[in-house]
């Protein structure tokens, strides 16, 4: 518990620090002064207040909060999927949610072009892809673990090929670049309305995942053992898959494809705090949030133009993953 409180304080610190990063120079004192003025505890010149409001609340805060939400969702759902599939090398895309969401986003760009509808389309298709994967798994294998993996693979492949069709038919000057940029992941397009909409279901999903933590410990030892310990294995599995799919689909619809967070962050947290899921899932959420807030700071400050965050997490994630692989060489057992 003390560790979780520490991580949450660290997250608040990371968010405050991230607010100071950007083209217009702001110190931590300016941020503090602004929030005091906002709360009515301090007077500030109206034009100065307006300027700071613009920079902090309109521009920086949405993307920072977005980074925190997306990072938390990806890391926590990744950790949950790793327990469900008894494999530390599983990422949130295992059941096809990312493939489905990319197709949905591309389709949204092709058909609607408005941001809200693109996000809705990405979210819906993410859920549909997982649904297709589960359907395939249940048609042939009574939902056994290996059939879930195969069902997810088939579903992801299906939606990836559908994405290729959409790319092929898209207008190469306007729509295709938009699709490609979306696939690289970006937090730049977020505003407070989207954050408000997504925050409640993501937070709810994260709480549900954390509540299933102990049951996941039992489930990760095998279905029969979980049952013998009094855990309804199938219900827990579907409850966790449902919550993890919800939060990962929402995160993809907010920020596009951001890889490696869901794979690497749970690993690092597991090495630091141990594998017990009741602690691992909430701790991964905080660590993922901190990681993505930090990565976003790098992405918008290292070069004059912004580096797509998905590329950055890949660049950081791959070497981290190689180190992690060295520590955990357990395959499908």
Partner 1 sequence: MMTAVVASECLEARGVHFPRGSRIILNDITIRLRSGEIVALLGANGAGKSTLFRIMLGFLKPERGEVRLNDRPLSEFSRRTLAQRIAYVPQAHVAPFPYKVHDVVLLGRLAETGIFRAPQAADRRVVGEVLERLAITHLAARPYTEISGGERQLTLIARALAQGAGILVMDEPMTGLDYGYQVRLLQHLVDLAGSGRTILMSTHNPEHAVQAATRIAVLRDGSIVADGPPAQIITPSLIRALYGVAVSTSTNAEGRIMLLPTIVHAQDSIRLASKAAIFPRRPE
Q: Could you list the residues that contact partner 1 (CB under 8 A)?
A: 83, 86-88, 211-212, 214-215, 217-218, 220-222, 224-225, 227-232, 236, 270, 274-276, 278, 330, 333
Output the 3-class SS for the chain.
Answer: CHHHHHHHHHHHHHHHHHHHCCCCCCCHHHHHHHHHHHCCCCCCCHHHHHHHHHHHHHHHHHHHHHHHHHHHHHHHHHHHHHHHCCCCCCCHHHHCHHHHHHHHHHHHHHHCCCHHHHHHHHHHHHHHHHHHHHHHHHHHHCCCHHHHHHHHHHHHHHHHHHHHHHHHHCCCCCHHHHHHHHHHCCCCCCCHHHHHHHHHHHHHHHHHHHHCHHHHHHHCCCHHHHHHCCCCHHHHHHHHHHHHHHHHHHHHHHHCCCCCHHHHHHHHHHHHHCCCHHHHHHHHHHHHHHHHHHHHHHHHHCCCCCCCHHHHHHHHHHHHHHHHHHHCCCCCC
| Least distance in angstroms from the C-beta of 160 to partner 1 | 28
Cβ contact 143:234 at 8 Å = yes
| Sign of CA pseudo-dihedral 288, 147, 162, 238 | negative
Of the pair 223, 306, the CB lying nearest partner 1 is at: 223
Q: Kindly state the smallest distance separating residue 234's Cβ from partner 1, in Å.
A: 10
Minimum gap (Å) between residue 275 Cβ and partner 1: 4
CA distance to 12, 16, 140, 306, per residue, from 52 (Å): 19, 14, 58, 22
Q: Which is nearer to partner 1, 112 or 140 (CB)?
A: 140
Integer angstrom CA distances of residue 298 from 295, 315, 316: 5, 12, 11
**Minimum distance from CB of 82 to partner 1 (Å)?**
8
Residue 110 or 226: the one with the smaller Cβ distance to partner 1 is 226
- Least distance to partner 1, CB of residue 324, Å: 13
Q: Whose Cβ is closer to partner 1: residue 11's or residue 218's?
A: 218
Locus of tokens 């409640």: 200
262 vs 308 by CB, closer to partner 1: 262
State the minimum distance, in angstroms, from the CB of residue 331 to partner 1: 9
In the complex with partner 1, which residue's Cβ is closer, 137 or 215? 215
Which is nearer to partner 1, 13 or 232 (by Cβ)?
Answer: 232
Minimum CB separation from partner 1 for residue 137, in Å? 19
Q: How far is the CB of 3 from partner 1 (least distance, A)?
A: 15
Residue number with CB closer to partner 1 (212 or 260): 212
For partner 1, which is the closer residue by CB, 273 or 307? 273
Q: What's the closest the beta carbon of residue 216 comes to partner 1, in angstroms?
A: 9
């Amino acid at each position: 518990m003390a560790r979780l409180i520490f991580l949450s304080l660290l997250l608040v610190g990371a968010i405050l620090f991230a607010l100071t990063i950007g083209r217009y120079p702001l110190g931590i004192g300016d941020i503090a002064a602004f929030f005091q003025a906002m709360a009515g505890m301090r007077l500030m010149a109206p034009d100065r207040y307006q300027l700071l409001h613009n920079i902090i609340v309109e521009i920086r805060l949405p993307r920072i909060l977005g980074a925190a939400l997306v990072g938390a969702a990806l890391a926590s759902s990744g950790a949950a999927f790793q327990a469900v599939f008894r494999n530390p090398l599983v990422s949130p895309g295992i059941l096809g949610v990312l493939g489905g969401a990319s197709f949905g986003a591309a389709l949204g760009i092709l058909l609607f072009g408005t941001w809200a509808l693109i996000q809705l389309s990405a979210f819906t298709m993410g859920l549909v892809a997982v649904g297709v994967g589960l359907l395939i798994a249940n048609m042939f294998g009574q939902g056994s673990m290996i059939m879930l993996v195969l069902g997810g693979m088939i579903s992801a492949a299906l939606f990836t090929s559908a994405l290729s069709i959409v790319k092929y038919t898209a207008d190469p000057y306007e729509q295709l670049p938009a699709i490609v940029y979306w696939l690289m992941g970006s937090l730049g397009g977020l505003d407070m309305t989207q954050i408000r909409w997504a925050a409640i279901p993501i937070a709810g999903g994260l709480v549900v995942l954390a509540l299933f933590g102990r049951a996941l410990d039992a489930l990760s030892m095998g279905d029969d053992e979980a049952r013998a310990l009094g855990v309804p294995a199938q219900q827990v599995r579907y409850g966790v898959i449902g919550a993890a799919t919800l939060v990962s689909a929402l995160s993809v619809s907010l920020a596009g494809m951001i890889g490696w967070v869901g794979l690497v962050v749970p690993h690092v947290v597991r090495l630091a705090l141990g594998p017990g899921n009741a602690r691992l899932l909430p701790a991964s959420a905080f660590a993922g949030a901190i990681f993505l807030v930090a990565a976003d700071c790098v992405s918008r400050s290292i070069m004059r133009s912004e580096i797509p965050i998905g590329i950055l997490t890949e660049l950081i994630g791959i070497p981290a993953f190689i180190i992690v692989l060295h520590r955990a060489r357990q395959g499908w057992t």
